[in-house]
Amino acid sequence: MTDIPFKAVAVDMDGTFMNDDLTYDHERFSKVLTRLKKHHIHFIVSSGRPLARLKRDFAGFLDKIDIVAENGALLVKDNEIISSHYLTYQTGIQLINFIQENYPQAHICASGREGAYYLNSYPTDFKRLMNFYYPNNEGVDSFDEIPTRERIIKLTLNIDSSLAEEMENTFNSKHTERIHCTTSGFDDIDVIAYGVNKAQGLKYFLRFFNLEPSQLIAFGDGLNDKEMLELAGYSYAMANGNPEIIKLAKYTAPSNNDSGVLQVLEEYLDKAEK
């Protein structure tokens, strides 16, 4: 038998664990997860997706996995939120106003503690996509309609991702409560509280499990996976991933459409169980 060199698995969702049709092989995953548990290996979903979407994605598995949602803003164990990072209501509204004034081409979805909000005037394709990712969504005529009790977790922007650094630096230069802009490398930017990312969320879980980063295997495909892959002792970029991420990672996994994550995990398990 060969020892498995990791004790925790972290996987991104879109472009990594999920196929391009936004599904995954539930039966195959269930078998892999059962085998991982026999080796006392933790499985952590680490995604920019909101918690409500991830709960639907992993219905039936929620008692067997841990979750880093909203790019690290929400951490979930045993189907309960154990850590959260919100913007204040005031900063959330200031941020939305800043984007509307300086980047009017952006379509915005504001993800809050109670729901997600986008403008009714936005294109149908954007609203359809947000309806998928944010099950608890509400169309509004103005973002001023967001309830004052709401706390913004993240903004999802449909905009040229190359603007992320400029947007972050400009806003932070004028506000005390700072933000962080991250992107998968395509036409989207996620805006979250400063200092929040997937790696920080994973560090929390590693401390909880009394594990070291060297005992983590992580899979990703986009630029918002950078910190996570840099943290992990075993970092895998998907074959379909961003070229910068492929260059950064130590290893390459088969593409998301070939269930690359499950293939790699099965290979480790097969070697250990011979």
State pLDDT tens for residues 47-85.
999 999 999 999 999 999 999 999 999 999 988 999 999
pLDDT, mean over the chain: 95
For every residue of 211-249, DSSP letters joined together read: --GGGEEEEE-SGGGHHHHHH-SEEEEETTS-HHHHHHS
Q: Identity (one letter) of the amino acid at 242?
A: N
Note the pLDDT tens digit of each residue in 132-156. 999 989 999 999 999 988 889 999 9
Superfamily of domain 8-84+197-272: HAD superfamily/HAD-like (3.40.50.1000)
Task: Kindly report the pTM of this predicted structure.
Answer: 0.92
| Domain ranges (residues) in the chain | 8-84+197-272, 89-193
**Sheet containing strand 251-253, strands side by side:** 80-84, 74-77, 66-69, 42-46, 8-11, 216-220, 234-238, 251-253
Domain 89-193 has CATH 3.40.50.720: no
